[in-house]
């Protein structure tokens, strides 16, 4: 599984698209 540093995994993209907030993406996705 190789993911770009600039593009978060699909799981994160979902929340990123919903909230459109980097804070949520980093907070909710990095912890997952």
Helix (H, G, I), strand (E, B) or coil at 4: coil
pLDDT in tens, 1-32: 455 566 666 666 666 566 565 555 555 555 44
Tokens of 21: 């907030």
> Looking at the whole model, is its pTM more than 0.75?
no
Alpha carbon distance 17, 6 (integer Å)? 15
Task: Identify the pLDDT of residue 32.
Answer: 45
pLDDT at 31: 47
């Amino acid at each position: 599984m190789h993911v770009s540093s600039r593009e978060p995994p699909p799981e994160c993209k979902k929340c990123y698209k919903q909230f459109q907030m980097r804070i949520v993406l980093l907070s909710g996705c990095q912890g997952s």
